[in-house]
Structure 1
Amino acid sequence: MATMKDIARLAGVSTSTVSHVINKTRFVSEEISERVNNAAKELNYAPSALARSLKMNRTRTIGMLVTTSTNPFFGEVVKGVERSCYHQNYNLILCNTEGDTERMRASIDTLLQKRVDGLILMCSTLEGEKLDIFDQYPSIPVVVMDWGPIHFESDKIQDNSYLGGYLATKHLIECGHNEIGCITGPLNRHQALMRYEGYKKALKEHSLRINPDWIIESDFECDGGAKSLEALMSRGALPSSLFVCNDMMAMGAINIAHNKGVKVPEELSIIGYDDIHIAKYMTPALTTIHQPKYRLGKAAVETLLAKIDKTNEVPDVVQLEPTLVVRNSVKSLL
């Protein structure tokens, strides 16, 4: 394998000059640069990423931890992270936690031992965890996504779930519905709780009663949405509409409604949350709250690189705003 010394010998220059040309760390005349590059090409020289990272104290690699889920939401966010890394000439190492605290700690330890330049965490099932491992690496930049209270210093990227829950419920009210139920996510998770609080705010603002028989806590998965609608039906008459706090649960609820002969939206209007890619291909196409998933991923990378480059050393919270997407799963009663 050719070395910089071999290139220097063939080009008739010093090894330091070769280093400056290849690493672009100092101006070198066009004529000498051409000689060096031609010599490198002739010798099939491939620079060592490891050697460069040791010299520059940077690996140009980012580690990302994400909770395993069947929800396409996570994949769409990861796509934004990966593409942004590519455009910034960074590599991405992706690890799944599968909701397991010990696996998350082991993954973080492995990534830090591999000298990643920073970490992106999207593990909302583990919010509130105390991660002592960051005490051993106090200088590692960390950006947290879609997480509640945390006990270590980091930047934070989040959507405004409170506003999103409010917008969803307000849309149902504006369509003439005054019987509005809610299938929530796990209320021990920050984003789920905020969506539910937004729902309650909209009802209170319009002097509508919250009927506890029309509210049920679920798990953000398709099966959870299906089982929740069955449970609501067993309690008695359904409301005219439901705010289902993510699209996966809405998909499960629509499936059960179809199986039970409940027509959506003619007999039951449903609005979801997230606007995953397949939402518009459901039958009926799902009215939902759009989360800017690609921009969430892009913002996470940009925020992390700002911290790595020390252009912003103060922990920051970047909040992206949700928007309403009207399709065909909500009937207007007006």
Structure 2
Amino acid sequence: MATIKDVAAQAGVSISTVSHVLNRTRKVSEAARSRVEQAVRELNYAPNSVARSLKVNNTRTIGMLVTTNAHPFFAEVVQAVEELCFELGYSLMLCNTENKPERQLMHLRMLLEKRVDGLLVICTDTPPSLTELLQQHAQIPLVMLDWSRDNAFADIIHDNAQIGGYLAGKYLVEQGHKDVACITGHLHKGTSQLRLGGFVKALEEAGLSLPPAQVVEGDFESESGYRAMQQLLRQGFGCTAVFAFCDTMAFGAICAITQAGLRVPQDISVIGYDDVNMARFTSPPLTTISHPKRTLGRWALELLLKRIREKDHQPEQLELQPRLVVRESVCPPGSRDERLEA
């Protein structure tokens, strides 16, 4: 089995140069880099990462706990993190928790055993058991994304959910909607409360209210959006617009509306939240509140690497600003009658 000495000899460079090329720790001339990479291929050299980590006390590996990378929102955040990891020469160990406490704890313990250099956590639920275990290992650099806001041992990145909800409500009001409904996420979560609060504020500024019967709780999955919209249609109060707290629930709501023989947006307008990639390709394309997922992922990793480098780093909170993305799933409530008359 080839060693790093063999690679250095074949490439005609020093062992330290080979190390810098492999670990991307220092700029090396293109000629030397090319010779090293060619020698690595010809010799089928594979670095001993375990030995290296014992020597330098790091593994150049990042651990990431995520609710599920099957969900479009999480998938896009994970993709951004993985891309930056690759650019910087880090490996990413991704663990799906499905919001199950036993899986969260099992995966976290495994990542700690693997001696990851730092942790990214993006779970819609952080139960006390997970928080306690994270606190017990506070020496591990940690960044929490999006849902978590209140702790003193981790850096936190989240979006301004209240402004996001306000933008959705303000746009519907500007389009002339007065009878509106909400399909929320879990109402015990701070993010859902903030989005709801911002939405209600926009309505109140226009002299409108949001009756409790017109607020249906979902769980950020498309099935819950579908069921919630069915419930709203059964109630028969005649809403002209619905704000879903994530795009996947908006997709489910659109399905329920069309299956009921109604049209989006002519009969009921729908606005979502997140601006996942597929939002552009629904029928009609979804108007939504953009949650900058790629920025969220890259900021998180950059902040984590800063925390890894700076041992006296003090916890930070960064906030992303959402924005309205107008497409074709919202129109003024009178559009239906005008088109029928035409």
Q: How far did residue 48 of structure 1 move? A: 2.1
Matched residue of 2:181: which SS? strand
Shifted more, 113-122 versus 227-236: the winner is: 227-236
Structure 1: 5+ residue runs without aligned partners? 12-16
Matched residue of 1:50: which SS? helix
Written as runs of structure 1 = structure 2, the 5 A alignment for 1:54-73 is 54-68=54-68, 70-73=70-73
Matched residue of 1:237: which SS? coil
Equivalent residue for 2:268? 268
Matched, 1:115 2:115: yes
Matched, 1:206 2:206: yes
Q: 1:293 & 1:167 partners in 2: Cα distance? A: 18
8 Å Cα contact 1:131/1:152 also seen in 2? no
Q: 1:138 & 1:252 partners in 2: Cα distance? A: 40
8 Å Cα contact 1:128/1:148 also seen in 2? no
Q: 2:87 & 2:36 partners in 1: Cα distance? A: 25
Equivalent residue for 2:258? 258
Q: 1:128 to 1:205 in 2, by over 3 A?
A: farther
Q: 1:205 & 1:312 partners in 2: Cα distance? A: 45
Letter of the 1:131 partner, please give it.
Answer: T
Instruction: State percent identity of aligned pairs.
Output: 42
Q: How far did residue 149 of structure 1 move? A: 4.4
Matched, 1:158 2:158: yes
Written as runs of structure 1 = structure 2, the 5 A alignment for 1:37-48 is 46-48=46-48
Matched residue of 1:271: which SS? strand
8 Å Cα contact 1:77/1:297 also seen in 2? yes
Written as runs of structure 1 = structure 2, the 5 A alignment for 1:77-156 is 77-126=77-126, 130-151=130-151, 153-156=153-156
Matched, 1:227 2:223: no
- Scaled by the length of structure 1, what TM-score is found? 0.87
Shifted more, 205-214 versus 94-103: the winner is: 205-214
Q: If you compute each CA radius of gyration, which structure gives the higher value, 1 or 2?
A: 1
Letter of the 2:307 partner, please give it.
Answer: K
Equivalent residue for 2:19? 23
Kindly provide the CA deviation profile for residues 295-323 of structure 1, in whole angstroms up to 9, marking residues without a partner as x: 11101110000001118701011111111
8 Å Cα contact 1:228/1:253 also seen in 2? yes
Written as runs of structure 1 = structure 2, the 5 A alignment for 1:226-245 is 226-245=226-245
Shifted more, 310-319 versus 258-267: the winner is: 310-319
Q: How far did residue 18 of structure 1 move? A: 5.2
8 Å Cα contact 1:127/1:147 also seen in 2? no
Q: 1:6 to 1:298 in 2, by over 3 A?
A: closer
Matched residue of 1:138: which SS? coil
Equivalent residue for 1:324? 324
Matched residue of 1:131: which SS? helix
